[in-house]
Structure 1
């Protein structure tokens, strides 16, 4: 196992992990087995926003998220904002699990191998969508208590106490808070940075809640390069001096990097407080930025043009967004990084997921499947 990782491109610090520390984390992962807990299968419990929403906003708000979303893989609208599978869907495939059902889905959900609390538009601080991270954490409490109650009465196909103890609790949220802060401050870095500690505190509070209810394995995705999104490039008039060497908005990415540094530090703080838990920080920013910086290397064309949308050069206009009158779809979705101006295509999500599976972008450097290996 590699004992070092770098988060430099995401604004993190280069960290070195001793063999002793690595062995300690492995022992924490194996703790449920040592205590007689027989982990039969991987279980994922996910919290987040549209990056990992597998149907929450559709079930919770009734927003008509149909085709062309889902056109590549599911061939129907599932509530996912993208042409096909999300990163979390590839996680499930990698672990040989069925795709996660949304907690809010009342029609034939499958909670045998996990649950998804993510809702598109969700934030860390309560905003417009009524499913901020603190609400998702409370929903988890309800879900766990109700699952155990139903199991005690003979119900099947639910997560039991051992399952919750051995589950991986995944958190991928924050980009909406950062973007809203940028909009409200007229894209002023100093004003946004002042808000970041309050954002991170919401993650800390959610972790404390999950830990209180038995969670011991945590997995965090940092936020991606917001300044590389076609939507942001289209909505914010800019000069060449506002862009970095790749063509991304520098202020947006600087904000993302500062948030990511804070998240990295939060993970370090949590490790020092909760000695019997593991906290994995995944540098998604570096992976996604590499796609924008080297599109041809991965088989992509223009990294700043949405596949589904309207207008040039970014193919994002407020009045003709993906699925609205006036939109069109690019000729080859698999050659586009971004689907609708914000969310990644299935082709890009697959690459991001595969790089995460390598363990090279994680601190500590652990592969996903390690959490259930005996």
Structure 2
């Protein structure tokens, strides 16, 4: 993995200080429901990021699920990881946004926390594919079947506390100083809370009742991390799931309107509903914690930009809503024969596709998203960095 990582690493000579200045300035675009941008704390010019801690699900899991379930996990076998030359536990053909963020910060790729041989000096990844924001027992009691993992956000936070207690000889020596120079990503998470309900019940309006609970759990996690010493946090929103081949296939034939991108508008409106509530919660967190930098990362609109700018980004215009690894139907997705199943083919060039397996994205898509969210701001901060 080390040789592959080096080969794929960006040739970036920009400082970590530049990224921090830039993250403060404009990490996000606001979602469709616009609101005034609140004032934010300007980061010091000498501020550095020495570690990254990530909490989330399959969009950022770099190998925890693989270590939870072992060889039985589909992400532990090719074609997953084929662009890297080997499966790594990532739900993609290659790297994820969290990997490119580490590149931008000139830090090693985040090791999965459950890899007990990993060096965690520069942070750890607590994300687990299939994880939910709400506890599994809570969802099961309400008839929502959580099938992949029990490692919800509260369990990931407990892992972090355990990790922290093993490192903190004293608050002055590690907790306060080290965490003050760390970047925390709290999500994307919450998507699976909705996925499990939508996949089995198709009840968009019913799932809206869970949005305040999911957002509340994310907010609670941010507060816990701030209390522990976090000073720089990013809270991402959700992607427009109405553009995913899995949902386009599942809801095909149902009476739902398509938008200008041929995505299911009702599902995308649901995502905007979640994102709007999450942005409002982030605004409140900023007001309550004026000395802490808390950014909302707009995954929704940067994803839509991949669709509208497909040609210039190198994606095949005829495959924008199709899975690279999949089979059957208008969107190359069959829920009974998913990527990794026997006889399911992979496209010849994943870099031409946005969707990898109907649920997750390709390395090429993640790279473009990361560049939009992080790379542009690196360049913007270059001239003012110390």
- For this structure pair, what is the TM-score category when the shorter chain's length is used for normalisation? 0.7 to 0.9
Q: TM-score, normalising length from structure 1?
A: 0.84
CA distance in 1, matches of 2:281, 2:347: 40
Q: Which of 32, 49, 52 is equivalent to 2:60?
A: 52
The 3 A distance-change label for structure 1 pair 87 and 109 is same
List per-residue Cα deviations over 1:280-316 (Å, max 9, x = no partner).
0111110101212342232111111100111132111
What's the offset of the Cα at 1:369? 8.0
CA contact (8 A) 1:4 1:15 kept: no
Instruction: Give the gaps of 5 or more residues in structure 2.
Output: 1-21, 137-145
1:233 paired residue among 243, 248, 251: 248
Output the CA distance in 2 between the equivalents of 1:356 and 1:202: 24
Task: Provide closer, same or farther for how the CA distance between residues 236 and 111 of structure 1 changes in structure 2, counting only shifts above 3 A.
Answer: same
1:69 aligns with 2:80: yes
What is the match of residue 210 of structure 1? 225
Counterpart of 1:96 in structure 2 is: 106
Q: Give the CA deviation at 1:61.
A: 2.3
The 8 Å contact of residues 28 and 297 in structure 2, kept in 1 or not, is answered as: no
Relative to 1, partners in 2 of residues 1:100 and 1:215: Cα closer, same or farther, differing over 3 Å?
Answer: same
Shift of 1:241: 5.2
CA distance 1:90–1:368, change in 2 (3 Å): farther
> CA 1:134/1:223 → structure 2, altered by over 3 Å: closer, same or farther?
same
Deviation at 1:240, TM superposition (A): 7.9
Shift, 1:245, TM fit: 1.6
1:83 aligns with: 93
The alpha-carbon distance between structure 1 residues 322 and 345, as it changes in their structure 2 partners (threshold 3 A), is: same
2:295 aligned counterpart, secondary structure: strand
1:177 to 193, 198, 203: 193
Does structure 1 residue 197 correspond to structure 2 residue 205? no
Counterparts of 1:347-358 in structure 2, within 5 Å, are: 347-358=364-375
Q: Alpha-carbon deviation of 1:197?
A: 0.4
SS at match of 1:264: helix
Aligned twin of 1:320: 337
Q: Distance in 1 between matches of 2:278 and 2:25?
A: 20
Match of residue 30 from structure 1: 44
Give 3-state SS (helix, strand or coil) of 2:168's partner.
Answer: helix
CA contact (8 A) 2:63 2:89 kept: yes
Mean Cα displacement is larger for which, 304-313 or 114-123? 304-313
Distance 1:81 1:6 in 2: 24
Shift of 1:336: 0.5
- Structure 1: state its 5+ residue gaps: 153-157, 361-365
Deviates more, 1:217-226 or 1:125-134: 125-134
Partners of 2:27 and 2:297 within 8 A in 1: no
Corresponding position of 2:320: 303
Is 1:142 equivalent to 2:162 in the alignment? yes
* Mapping 1:356-371, distance limit 5 Å: 356-358=373-375
Question: What secondary structure sits across from 1:57 in the alignment?
Answer: helix
Is contact 1:113–1:159 with CA below 8 Å preserved after alignment? no
Report the CA distance between 1:125 and its aligned residue: 0.9
Q: In structure 2, what is the Cα distance between the partners aligned to 1:342 and 1:196? A: 20
Q: Identify the residue that residue 33 of structure 2 maps to in structure 1.
A: 12
Q: Summarize deviations over 1:178-216 as a string: whole Å, max 9, x none.
A: 222323543333x22221000111011111211121112
Q: What's the CA shift for 1:148? A: 2.0
Structure 1 equivalent of residue 3 of structure 2: none
TM-score by length of 2: 0.82
How far apart in 2 are the matches of 1:100 and 1:80?
Answer: 12
